[in-house]
Amino acid sequence: MTPDSRRRILAVARRDLRVQKRNPGYWFLLLILPLVDGLLFGSIGVAYGQGDAPVRMLVTGILLFHLIWQLTLAGSLGLLEEVWSRNLLNLIATPLTEREFLGAIGLVGLARTVVSISVIGVVGAGFYAVAPDDAGWVLVPAAAILLLFGWAITQGVMAMTIQYGDSAEVFSWGTLVLLMPLSGFFYPVESLPTALEVIARAIPLTYVFEAVRQGLETGTVAWGELAIATVGTLVVLALTTWLLAHQLRRFRREGWVTRFT
């Protein structure tokens, strides 16, 4: 990476952060929603669970959900902000490359993710005595896989945005909400109806959360589940990378920029 490229990435990231700083909606998603989710799921675990296990499971589950959701949301909304402000043509006229734009969005997404999971971590530790590291070392590879999967989903949403414009907004927050009940964020997928369990087994996230649950219950690392999750995530990442590249080629070739000006 050249110094000029690094400066452009940081400049776009700073601009996005300043735009978001002035928008109360972003603050709600960044601070209030994680706070509410931490209190909600922690209290459900206390009210209906026996012992500490349900609370730890629910708080850890919502923490990991925000780990992936905040990255996906920030990345998806980063492109949508350019669409809403009719700024895509201005970006195209600059030396900024597509990879640099993606790099800037990724930096913003990681910053949002750190803040969000910190809020839930404080809620879990302060109110429910749930430490973020209760699951043990499995959280390290699990978090890496979740971030990679989140970036794959982000690329898919960007591809949809290039195709459909601001009508694709629902995919920015709805994709992971759709995957949540099918991936066993808070419960084993065996709890699902049989037909849905088959679908759940095809989703890489399922194996990440199985590994995390095993870490919470036994303190061991389920390398088999993590390996399956890694392979599945890499397949999804390859597909969405191809899809985004394909949409960008069509964007340039067919002059889709006129849709956004």
Q: What is the DSSP string of 50-71?
A: SSSHHHHHHHHHHHHHHHHHHH
Say which residue, 169 or 246, is predicted with more confidence: 246
pLDDT(261) > 70: no
Quick one: average pLDDT of 199-224?
Answer: 88
Task: For residue 184, give both structure tokens.
Answer: 């066993």
The structure tokens 């084993």 sit at: 188
Task: Specify the pTM.
Answer: 0.89
Domain of residue 50 covers 3-260
Q: What percent of the chain stands above pLDDT 90?
A: 16
Report, as an integer, the average pLDDT of 104-111: 87
Residue appearing with tokens 């759709």 = 178
Query: What pLDDT does 121 receive?
Result: 86
Residue 260: the pLDDT is 63
pLDDT confidence of residue 241: 93
Q: How confident is the model at residue 236 (pLDDT cuts 50, 70, 90)?
A: very high
| Whether pLDDT at 259 is above 70 | no
List CB contacts of 117: < 8 A, sequence separation 6 or more. Answer: 34, 63, 66, 67, 70, 132
Of these ranges, 52-61, 110-119, 252-261, the one predicted with the greatest mean pLDDT is 110-119
Q: What is the mean pLDDT of residues 121-146?
A: 83
By mean pLDDT, which of 116-130, 143-157, 199-213, 226-240 is the weakest? 116-130
Distance of CA 71 to the CA centre of its chain: 4
By CB atoms closer than 10 A (0-12, 13-18, 19+), residue 214 is middle
User: Based on the structure, what is the number of domains in the chain?
Assistant: 1
pLDDT score for 257:
65
Report whether pLDDT(87) > 80. Answer: no
Predicted pLDDT at 258:
66
Could you tell me what percent of the chain has a pLDDT over 70? 97
